[in-house]
Amino acid sequence: MVEKIENTQTRKAWWQPAMALFLRMSAWIGVPVIIAAFLGKWFDNRYNSEPWGILGFIGLSFIISMVGIVRQAGREYKKIESEENNKNN
């Protein structure tokens, strides 16, 4: 009976780290773009610079997103490497 409970808990857990990573990566794309859209619209209305404000902020959000995704991927890669090294030792 104990083995069955442990096996059920293991089955639930295998996909959770992948889903968490997916959500973190998606947030690095979605959050900066949403913030940039609001800031760009505000900038365009305030300085009558349509569409350059929103385009500039969206471009900046793209750069921020790429840097964030690369940093997050690097952290995950190091985490996987350390887990593999711990298994081998």
Q: What average pLDDT does this structure show over 11-36?
A: 90
* 5 has a pLDDT exceeding 70: no
> What DSSP letter does each residue of 2-57 carry, written as one string?
HHHHHHHHHHHHTTHHHHHHHHHHHHHHHHHHHHHHHHHHHHHHHHT-TTHHHHHH
Q: What is the mean pLDDT of residues 68-78?
A: 95
pLDDT, position 13: 77
pLDDT at residue 88 in the model: 83
Calculate the alpha carbon distances from 77 to 17, 45, 71, 80, 87 in Å.
Answer: 13, 43, 10, 5, 15
The residues spanned by each domain of the chain are: 21-83
Tell me the mean pLDDT in the region 67-77. Answer: 95
Neighbours of 12 (CB within 10 A): 8
pTM score: 0.76
**Which residue do the tokens 């104990």 mark?**
2
